[in-house]
Amino acid sequence: MNHLIMLLQQYGLWLVFFNVLALQAGLPIPAYPVLIVAGAYAAMGGNPLWELVAVGVAAALVADTGWYLAGRRFGVSILRVLCRVSLSPDGCVRQTENIFERFGPTSMLVAKFVPGFASVATAMAGAVRLRYALFVAFDAIGAALWVSVGVGLGYLFRNAIDDAMNTLKALGQYGLMLVVAGFIAWVLIKAWRRWMFVRQLRMDRVSVDELRELIDDHKINAIVDVRSPITQAATGRIPGARAIDMQKITESFKGVPVDGEVVVYCACPNEATAVKVAQSLAKLGYKRIRPLHGGIDAWIAAGLAVEH
């Protein structure tokens, strides 16, 4: 804590600005430690809380505008890029679509409190071409809430924070080792969960060429698009594909023979959502259900038509 206070004394609000900017730009650099210590330092006579909040909001808006413009330029495909740098990328795309579909731009009010959702939500806002003025309004309020919680915690619990830091300091190198070990353990747990999930994804897939042959030979019983309506509207669907309600999978498949050929596709890394739906249908008795390898992106990349 003393070291961070020294940095705040030396660099002032610039430290807060660049720390928040780096995090919101996508770098794995936590900002809350600096915000909390800045709040504690404010109680000791440092920069007032309103300045800390204003600088934090400004930094967040700069970074978030970049992701917003990327979303407008590249569409929903930018989500895949963002989700691939996450430690839990496989559910990232569909999770973002679900949240944005349900709450719209108001989801940005809490986006920064949800790990991995902040930059993806701002890119989604650009992809669906939300008006920039509306985007800035919701994003600024969300950033203000997020920064205020950080500096507010430091301001209110400055004595407890100081006691905790003094305890770690008294432990010397063991205190540092404890902090580093905790961070490493968190990363390893996330990596292990991802590895276990990827193991579950190993199932037979159909290629774009195979699917096209099945369609041409009239051997396909159902093509299922499990993406959100927002994404389907933005990129279109494979001709003849049916959209389903993820909460009513059984009802959505009435009339499809259980021994027929069914192909499921999405836009997630590793076809994660498609695999989950395929596994659910397999439990319902469907015999020939396979995810489309590469999802809708592979279909479009092959130059094949989509319908809107």
pLDDT, residue 56, reads 94
- What are the boundaries of each domain within the chain? 2-156, 208-301
Thinking of the domain 208-301, which architecture would CATH place it in?
Answer: 3-Layer(aba) Sandwich (3.40)
pTM as predicted: 0.61
pLDDT, residue 211, reads 92
pLDDT, residue 201, reads 46
Q: Judge whether 105 and 130 are in contact, CB under 8 Å.
A: yes
pLDDT, residue 221, reads 87
pLDDT, residue 12, reads 78
Mean pLDDT by 10 residues, the chain (308 residues): 63 87 83 85 84 94 93 77 55 64 81 76 84 94 94 80 57 59 71 59 76 90 85 86 78 79 81 76 81 88 89
pLDDT, residue 3, reads 60
pLDDT, residue 24, reads 87
pLDDT, residue 196, reads 60
